[in-house]
A and B are shown apart, each in its own frame.
Chain A
Amino acid sequence: GEDVEQSLFLSVREGDSSVINCTYTDSSSTYLYWYKQEPGAGLQLLTYIFSNMDMKQDQRLTVLLNKKDKHLSLRIADTQTGDSAIYFCAEQGGFKTIFGAGTRLFVKA
């Protein structure tokens, strides 16, 4: 069945760039998403990319999609302590969305 995999942890220094990676298995995915979850809160949609795009930039966020390798990445420029959270990759094919287990981003001051 469909699966989404992410590394569990990432630690960066404040001001550096963060790159969070994700791989997925469903080649018929139409949309791919990045969500952010802060402690005690629900998931917040950060950005999304259509499967026919390679890249999308939104302020400090850059999403790269390699459809051939089924690899998605989220780059956060100038990472701040407020970016510390869990980041979930999700892929949507049809009406179903599958989430990864999340990458916990630690930002050191």
Chain B
Amino acid sequence: EAGVAQSPRYKIIEKRQSVAFWCNPISGHATLYWYQQILGQGPKLLIQFQNNGVVDDSQLPKDRFSAERLKGVDSTLKIQPAKLEDSAVYLCASSGRSNYGYTFGSGTRLTVV
């Protein structure tokens, strides 16, 4: 089966600019996650969707981050305006009923300068 697709792979922006990331999960996976992975740390959950509804967004900085999954398939994560501390790898993952654990995409490496 095709894996979790993410784009772009890399992005460099100046602080206060906006940026958007895209994710297409594995076909049929109802649950989609966005994680932030700062260099040297483990992934931290930003938001979790079940189909097109939000299950958990308690750690999403809602003053600057937003995410949507309108048709319950692909998803976008946006940052506006970006700060230096947003420099990280943004990982998308998905999971389905019949499997354990998550399948991760390769991530988008964001550098804010």
- Chain A positions near chain B (C-beta within 8 angstroms): 4, 31, 33, 35, 40-45, 48, 88, 90, 95-97, 99-102
Contacts and interface: CB of A to CB of B under 8 A. Distances in A.
Contacts of B44: 99
B94 to A, nearest CB: 11
B51 interface: no
Contact of A95 (B42, B56, B101, B106): B56
Nearest to B50: A95
Nearest to B9: A40
B106 A102 contact: no
B-side binding surface: helix, strand, loop or mixed?
A: loop
Interface residues of B, number: 20
B91 interface: yes
B55 A33 contact: no
Given A99-B44, A101-B42, 8 more contacts: A31-B100, A31-B101, A35-B101, A44-B104, A45-B100, A48-B101, A95-B48, A102-B42
A41 B107 CA distance: 7
Contacts of A41: 106-107
A22 to B, nearest CB: 11
A99 B56 contact: no
B103 interface: yes
